[in-house]
Amino acid sequence: MAIPRPVPTGRASPFADDEIIVTKTDPRGRILYANETFLTVSRLTLAAVLGQPHSIVRHPDMPRCIFEMMWKTIGAGGEFFGYVKNLASNGDHYWVFAHVTPSRDATGTITGYHSNRRKPEEAQVARIEPLYRRLLAAEAAPSDRKTGQRQGAELLAAFLAERGLPYEQFAFSL
Ligand SMILES: Cc1cc2nc3c(=O)[nH]c(=O)nc-3n(C[C@H](O)[C@H](O)[C@H](O)COP(=O)(O)O)c2cc1C
């Protein structure tokens, strides 16, 4: 059963510096494993998340192009590092610095994905937020979603090209 999307409260969900949020998914991003920290910070139960798409914690402030880039990277077998704002079931949010990697079987085929996240510093969030706001605005400007997604991706590519950095290196430089 689909869980109704909560209305964001603007409050931060408690997530301590020494905690790590872990989830594992199938190749389509459906949750197969979630640690206690993920469940506590997201205010969800294991029964509610198992088998659900990971977008269950998607925050409306997150630009689509960031997830698009993440899926392109991990789908091609790469590792992704990046900042993500998530939504807890009570509408509170939490920022993470995520590391997402593919899991493979003995033949090398991707069998799913694994993500570890820690809490970013406030200063890092303050530096990534303006970029995400610009990307979100670029995505929302056209009336059709596809054009919006393309405009967001183009803005992100131009922003990174100006700095001469791929997204992951930019994320680490914050
Ligand atoms: C291992 C793994 C972890 C993910 N973690 C998150 C997450 O914490 N928050 C999130 O919004 N999306 C996460 N995603 C991405 C979602 O699958 C999805 O692409 C994203 O929420 C955008 O959803 P939408 O395309 O339905 O808008 C994760 C995907 C994978 C494979």
What structural domains does the chain harbor? 20-173 (3.30.450.20)
Q: What percent of the chain has pLDDT over 90?
A: 89
Centre of ligand 1 to C-alpha 59, Å, is: 10
Cβ atoms of 6 and 87 within 8 Å: the answer is yes
Pocket test for ligand 1, best of 22, 57, 58, 70 (most atoms within 8 A of CB): 58
Q: How far apart are CA 168 and CA 174, in angstroms?
A: 10
Tokens 């670029």, located at residue: 138
Centre of ligand 1 to C-alpha 173, Å, is: 23
Q: For 137-158, how does the pLDDT look when each residue is reduced to its tens digit (9 = 90+)? A: 999 988 888 899 899 999 999 9
Cβ atoms of 84 and 117 within 8 Å: the answer is yes
Centre of ligand 1 to C-alpha 86, Å, is: 9
In this predicted structure, what is the pLDDT of residue 1? 53
Q: For 72-82, how does the pLDDT look when each residue is reduced to its tens digit (9 = 90+)? A: 999 999 999 99
